[in-house]
């Protein structure tokens, strides 16, 4: 009797269930699920101010070497940091499985608690974050800075080991229209690593860029509002966001920069006249889908990602001034937060998501991140509230605020 092939939905679910922290790369999108295991080759780090700009050529060289060695998985997977202060983490895996999108039974509840108790340390403290926003607004009044994204971190320590595979499943089930990921990070990847192997894990709502043949797509998000459990109020918040002059301005700054970065690579570029609304379980966002056709087929998805990164949605504008403000105001190193995570194959195709709604984790600790875009007209208390709302993607997947206890 011939055995029936597994359905794409069952295979995708099996890939999610097969994820193991420390030995896998997992990446799920609204259309595709990917699980990579092992390391055939690691993309070497080359220091210098242009380390990120030279990353695509290093990845291409490693993929070429893999093909010459008759390795049949010519795909590089991994994560790119916010800036060049730490190396990118890119590998060619030993094995790679792909399937269609994850499909969940909506009647099956999400498993909640991952640990009985956590201690929580906000960095910076809320009052210090408010001061940072005020400082950023003063910079805009006295100089050329138009936007800066200021972020916060929550350091959580658990009383028992954290079940990262279950956290990944919770994130995937709660964010089916997003980009759910888990990436192994090397020991010492950030100052907070303490020599332990860490995992970058999260569920991003934002596609940085994808390439399929000559077709490219970027989907920047900028301008946000927290969701409400009350359906009427929730729709009112969405409508208010779509009319908010402050948020529309913030979105326009991002779109202007993304189009400017993509145009040199595209012979055709389709830019919507205005943003639309997209939502996650916790947030409303202003969204613009920018589609293009490459002029040069040798331009890879990673080369496009590096050209776009960091967008004003995660850094600010102008980029140099915003980065300088971030370095001055934020009291921690971002590491891979607000970088990009994804894959690129030897043909140049690939997909890269913005590394937000995420955490860096080891056995018993997680470092969560959330940020807000500051422009003229921003109010410090509103920006603080936005970061609190954005933390909910990770916190709800961990069961915090519902079945788990938190100690501050």
- Confidence label for 114 from pLDDT (cuts 50, 70 and 90): low
Instruction: Give the integer Cα–Cα distance in Å for 169 and 147.
Output: 35
Q: For 161-188, what is each residue's pLDDT tens digit?
A: 899 999 999 999 999 899 999 999 987 5
Q: What is the pLDDT of residue 48?
A: 79
Q: What is the pLDDT of residue 111?
A: 59
Active site residue 147: yes
Rounded to the nearest 10 degrees, the angle between the axes of helix 164-174 and helix 8-18 is: 140
The residue with tokens 């690579």 is 265
Please give the class, per CATH, of domain 8-105+119-398.
alpha beta
Residue from 20, 206, 324, 390 carrying the catalytic annotation: 206
Q: For 271-288, what is each residue's pLDDT tens digit?
A: 999 999 999 989 999 999
Least confident of 100-109, 274-283, 364-373, 383-392: 100-109
The percentage of residues in the chain with a pLDDT greater than 90, rounded to a whole number, is 81
User: What does pLDDT average to over the chain?
Assistant: 91
pLDDT of 336 > 80? The answer is yes
Query: First CA to last CA across the chain, in angstroms?
Result: 60
- Confidence label for 108 from pLDDT (cuts 50, 70 and 90): low
Q: For 27-67, what is each residue's pLDDT tens digit?
A: 999 999 999 999 999 999 887 778 899 999 999 999 999 99
* Phi, then psi, of 348 in degrees rounded to 5: 105, -15
Active site residue 206: yes
Instruction: Give the integer Cα–Cα distance in Å for 189 and 194.
Output: 9
186, 349 Cβ separation under 8 angstroms = no
pLDDT of 407 > 50? The answer is no
| Number of Cβ within a 10 Å radius of residue 323 | 16
- Confidence label for 329 from pLDDT (cuts 50, 70 and 90): very high
pLDDT of 3 > 60? The answer is no
Residue 330 CA to chain centroid, in angstroms?
19
Q: What is the pLDDT of residue 1?
A: 42
Q: What is the pLDDT of residue 406?
A: 45
Q: In what helix (H) or strand (E) does residue 26 lie, and over which residues does it extend?
A: strand 24-28
Residue from 20, 68, 125, 147 carrying the catalytic annotation: 147
Would you list the DSSP string of 39-98?
A: -SEEPPP--STTTTTTHHHHHHHHHHHHHHTT-S--EEEEEE-SSTTS--EEEE-SEEEE
Residues 6+ positions from 379 with CB-CB distance below 8 Å: none
């Amino acid at each position: 009797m011939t055995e029936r092939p597994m359905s794409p939905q069952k295979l995708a679910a099996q890939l999610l269930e097969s994820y193991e922290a420390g030995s896998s790369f997992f990446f799920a999108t609204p259309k595709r699920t990917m699980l990579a295991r092992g390391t055939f080759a690691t993309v070497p780090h080359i220091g210098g101010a242009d380390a990120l700009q030279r990353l695509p050529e290093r990845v291409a060289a490693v993929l070429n070497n893999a093909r010459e060695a008759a390795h049949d998985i010519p795909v590089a997977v991994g994560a790119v940091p916010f800036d060049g202060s730490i190396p990118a983490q890119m590998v060619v895996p030993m094995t790679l499985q792909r399937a269609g999108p994850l499909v969940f039974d909506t009647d099956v509840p999400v498993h909640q608690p991952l640990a009985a108790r956590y201690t929580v340390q906000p960095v910076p403290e809320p009052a210090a974050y408010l001061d940072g926003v005020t400082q950023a607004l003063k910079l805009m009044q006295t100089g050329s800075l138009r936007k800066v994204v200021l972020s916060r971190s929550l350091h959580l320590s658990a009383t028992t080991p954290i079940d990262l595979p279950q956290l990944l499943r919770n994130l995937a089930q709660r964010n089916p229209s997003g980009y759910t990921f888990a990436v192994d990070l090397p020991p010492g990847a950030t100052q907070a690593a303490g020599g332990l192997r860490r995992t970058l894990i999260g569920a991003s709502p934002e596609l940085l860029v994808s390439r399929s043949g000559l077709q490219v797509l970027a989907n920047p998000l900028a301008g946000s509002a927290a969701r409400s459990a009350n359906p009427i109020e929730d729709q009112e918040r969405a409508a208010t966001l779509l009319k908010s002059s402050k948020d529309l301005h913030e979105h326009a700054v991002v779109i202007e920069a993304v189009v400017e970065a993509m145009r040199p690579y595209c012979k055709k570029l389709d830019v919507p006249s205005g943003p639309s609304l997209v939502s996650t379980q916790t947030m409303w966002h202003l969204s613009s889908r920018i589609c293009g056709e490459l002029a040069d087929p040798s331009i890879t998805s990673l080369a496009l990602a590096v050209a776009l990164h960091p967008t004003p949605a995660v850094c600010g504008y102008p980029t140099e001034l915003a980065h300088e403000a971030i370095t001055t105001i934020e009291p921690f190193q971002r590491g891979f937060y607000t970088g990009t995570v994804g894959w690129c194959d030897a043909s140049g195709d690939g997909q890269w998501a913005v590394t937000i709604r995420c955490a860096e984790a080891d056995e018993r600790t997680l470092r969560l991140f959330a940020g807000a875009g500051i422009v003229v007209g921003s109010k410090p208390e509103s920006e603080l509230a936005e970061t609190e709302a954005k933390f909910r993607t990770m916190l709800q997947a961990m069961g915090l605020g519902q079945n788990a206890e938190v100690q501050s």
